[in-house]
Structure 1
Amino acid sequence: MKKLLNLQNCMLGFGLAFLYLPMLILIIYSFNESKLATVWGGFSVKWYFELMKDEQLLASIWMSLRIAFLSATSAVVLGTIASFVMIRFGRFRGHTLFSGLMTAPLVMPEVITGLSLLLLFVSMGDVLGWPSDRGIVTVWIAHTTFCTAFAAVVISSRMRDMDLSIEEAAQDLGSTPFKVFFVITVPVIAPALLAGFLMAFTLSLDDVVISSFVAGPGSTTMPMVVFSSARLGVSPKINALATIIIMTMSFLVCLTWWLASWRQKKEQELMNQLAKARNKT
């Protein structure tokens, strides 16, 4: 048994090292004095100041954040509607086709998705006159297209396990279906909505393939700038940017964990108080 536990610990340690050791090395080399990203030249924080002076990179970060927020919001709205149709409407005619079309972006290569969206926008521009040029709107539409599938999978799984008796009780008390959805359904599936939003936000912020097809000169995203600079040699400014992103995400994860623990502790204290009051009576 001890040998098995030691083997499990070794495999766990190897897996964690494989995942997080490259990030640790990247953070260390973000404080490198040398211009070469892989050659240590002494401790320095100058690349963080150089990052703050790089207007192109800062503009691409702001562009990526705006597109990611818009895409994630649209994906959650569309994913919620699609999940509601697939789960609550039963086996209607075309259910299988609709479900397949919703999940197709999950298995579709991003190159195919990007090329098809590019041809769509070019054809629409020739026939309808819109979009006249590729920019932030086309990137937003493209990211929403493939992020909706991921959000729909998360939301539909939560909606499928939801207890329908709560909604039926609210309707029996006179609530309209519209009110039931926003007062009962949405709060119950709120964790899935948040998870879908965060997943869509991350996917949009990370995408480079589809963005390369549908982006214009004034809508260059952060991954596109990083990828283009990597072909000429990674600048230590990219290490500094990656370190800031890693630290920000780590802080948010720790904050979320602390809030969840604090909420669970408060709920446990409330349950204990109720139990004590019930025992006294």
Structure 2
Amino acid sequence: MSRFLKISLFAGFSFLYIPIFILIFYSFNASKRGAVWGGFSTEWYGKLLQDQQILDAAWISFKVAFLSASGAVIIGTLAAVVLVRMGKFRGRSMFSGLVSAPLVMPEVITGISLLLLFISFKEFLGWPQQRGIATIVIAHTTFTAAFVVLVVQSRLYALDKSLEEASADLGATPFETFFYVTVPIIAPSLAAGWMLAFILSFDDLVIASFTSGPGSTTLPMLIYSKVKIAVSPDVNALATIIVVSISLVIAALAIFAFKNQKQEH
């Protein structure tokens, strides 16, 4: 690479990752003031594990992210199969546009739309009685399914159709071909789509703020309420744990995808 490209690459990665390293550094700050260094300490990690409010919010975020990511993978995979394997059909362009709409729609608009939807449901159907975990899961599933469609769709386009045709020639039904041939081949993309949907749901603040209710405060909502005044070291410790956990999971998925790709070649 030329010197310009090296400098550009270094500047780009520095812009992205130096703030994260600063956050991790200050999570070991002994001072209660987040921006003032008072010595090395790990006490905030211990206090973090004793804060029931944070633990409850983290558990709610984990449940919401797990359920919404699982639902998004199911819906997104089916939508991707329709777009890739069903050829041209009436309304395909509209269907494709509706599937892709959440990708470009501002989260504020999505949150307000879903809020009005739930209010209308309560008025005409009597459900939900109040917004909570269920409404957040539905909202996040709607939001993240579009990202799963992109990941799975790209893998289906690259899939060798002769494998599915050979399965059909050997007497397999379309469902058997899908579950025993297609799904194992696209498994890495399903895992990547699930992880992407999980992170997007776990990280979401705007949509969750519109669709949540009493007793369903997610972790991003709690962190946002805490940092309105000042960033405390316990928030830095919490963010460090999240960054390390997600990095380990992403690394594991990358290793799994690399091994799977190596076996295919």
- What TM-score, normalized by structure 2, do the two folds share? 0.95
**Alignment partner for residue 246 of structure 2, among 243, 249, 255?**
249
- Kindly report which structure 2 residues correspond to 1:67-216, keeping only aligned pairs within 5 A, or say none: 67-216=64-213
Larger Rg: 1
**1:26 corresponds to:** 23
Could you list the runs of 5+ residues in structure 1 that have no partner in the other structure?
272-281
Q: State whether residues 76 and 146 of structure 2, in contact with CA within 8 Å, keep that contact through their aligned partners in structure 1.
A: yes
Alignment partner, residue 5 of structure 2: 8
User: Which stretch has the larger CA shift, 214-223 or 250-259?
Assistant: 250-259
Task: Let me know the Cα RMSD of the aligned residues.
Answer: 1.9
Measured after TM superposition, the shift of residue 169 of structure 1 is 1.1
Of residues 74-83 and 256-265 in structure 1, the stretch that sits farther from structure 2 once superposed is 256-265
Distance 2:160 2:260 in 1: 23
Output one character per residue of 1:120-162: Cα deviation in whole Å (capped at 9) or x when no partner: 1011011111111100000000000010111011111111221
Q: How far apart, in 2, do the equivalents of 1:194 and 1:248 lie?
A: 16
Paired residue type of 2:200:
L
User: Which residue type is aligned with residue 47 of structure 1?
Assistant: W
Aligned equivalents of 2:155 and 2:259: distance in 1?
24
Given that 2:72 and 2:148 are in contact with CA atoms closer than 8 Å, whether structure 1 keeps it comes out as: yes
State the distance in 2 between where 1:262 and 1:108 align: 36
Equivalent in 208, 218, 221 of residue 218 of structure 2:
221
Q: Tell me by how many angstroms 1:41 deviates.
A: 1.1
Give CA-to-partner distance per residue, 1:224-274, whole Å, 9 cap, x none.
Answer: 001111112122111001111122223334444555667788x69xx9xxx
Structure-1 separation of matches of 2:120 and 2:59: 29
Instruction: Sort the Cα spacing of 1:201 and 1:94 in 2 relative to 1 into closer, same or farther, 3 A.
Output: same
| Secondary structure of 1:9's aligned partner | helix
Q: Cα 1:226–1:44, aligned 2, differ >3 Å: closer, same or farther?
A: same
Deviates more, 1:8-17 or 1:43-52: 8-17
Closer, same or farther: CA 12–89 of 1 in aligned 2, 3 Å = same
Distance (whole Å) between structure 1 residues aligned to residue 149 and residue 11 of structure 2: 34
Residue type at the aligned position of 1:162: L
Q: How far apart are residue 222 of structure 1 and its match?
A: 0.3
Q: Given the superposition, is the C-alpha separation of residues 76 and 258 from structure 1 closer, same or farther in structure 2, using an over 3 Å criterion?
A: closer
For 1:109 and 1:261, the matched residues in 2 are separated by 34
- 2:67 counterpart SS class: helix
Aligned to 1:278: none
**Secondary structure in 1 aligned to 2:216?**
coil
CA change 1:47–1:96 in 2 (3 A) is: same
Task: Name the counterpart of 2:236.
Answer: 239
- Among all aligned residue pairs of Structure 1 and Structure 2, give the percentage whose two residues are the same amino acid: 53
Give yes or no for the alignment of 1:47 onto 2:51.
Answer: no
Aligned counterparts of 1:138 and 1:25: Cα–Cα separation in 2:
36
1:6 Cα deviation after fit: 2.4
Counterpart for residue 276 of structure 1: none
Is 2:55 the partner of 1:58? yes
| Partner SS, residue 41 of structure 1 | coil
CA distance 1:260–1:208, shift in 2 (3 Å)? closer
